[in-house]
Amino acid sequence: MNLELWVHPYTISDREFALFRDLIFRHTGIHMSDRKKNLVVARLSRRLRALGLGSFSDYYRYLTEGPDAAGELINLVNRITTNKTDFFRERHHFDFLRDTVVPQILRDATAGGQRRIRIWSAGCSSGEEPYSIAMTISELLERDRGWDVRILATDLDTEVLSRAHRGVYSSQQVAPVPVPYLSKYFDRVPDGYELKQAVKGLVVFRKLNLMDETFPMKRSFDAIFCRNVMIYFTEETKNALVEKLHRHLKEGGYLFIGHSESLMHMKHLFTFVRHTVYRKI
């Protein structure tokens, strides 16, 4: 038993939960059903204890009226967001990137296009996804130098972004990495495996809220990975996000989504390529 939780038990009323549900939705787009009450209590109780607050009503006032409301909102978001990810998760996406997306970019460059690759990992969590993209591209361009490759990796959670930027993972975390990649792209360090700078240098990590009305990126992307993010959104929020992602893709660019997500109702924006892979019309 967690003694700290036993000594300082917290409960949340229906009214308090409604306040937090609305606050979380406004800032993250995440919809919390009534079944998530226990999750909210479990994830936020530590913040109440750290701030010496006696109730969730006190915490809500702190978040909305306190002297460090903006800073504490970051802590709230960090606690509430889910960060499940793995290297080469949904392997077929990386196979498609290797076999179809990047070769098409190479052919376009041969025909007079720019030797530039731009990919966005939206909701990158602790970095396994963008680094998997970086390794996949590095393999293809190993003998073809002179390419300008940039992978933008964004997330709302500042804590996972910090870990991602460090690029150090445990033996368990790197288990899905193919053995040749592990020896080629990682260095053994005391606390696990660290990605080599050649891979790290391809990825730029930034904090970004996908609920913002507009995004600051000026150039379009060849592909966007936004996987297992929209499952937490309402249909309206999801549609608004997909329209924004569409605007940031090049003509013919690819959008990768999660295995339980679909864009079949948005045929005016994307054409279906294969399961969870769509192309901008």
DSSP structure class, residue 173: T
- Spatial neighbors of 146 by CB under 8 A, at least 6 apart, are 115
Annotated catalytic, 155? Answer: yes
List 14, 35, 61, 155, catalytic entry: 155
Burial class, 2, CB count within 10 angstroms (exposed 0-12 / middle 13-18 / buried 19+):
exposed
Strands 186-189 and 277-280, by their bridges, are unpaired
Contact 157, 84 (CB under 8 A): no
CB atoms inside a 10 Å sphere around CB 274: 10
Here the contacts of 188-197 (C-beta below 8 Å, separation 24 or greater) are 192/168, 193/168, 193/169, 194/166, 194/167, 194/168, 194/169, 195/131, 195/167, 195/168, 195/169
List 14, 26, 35, 43, catalytic entry: 43
Catalytic residue numbers, as ranges? 43, 155
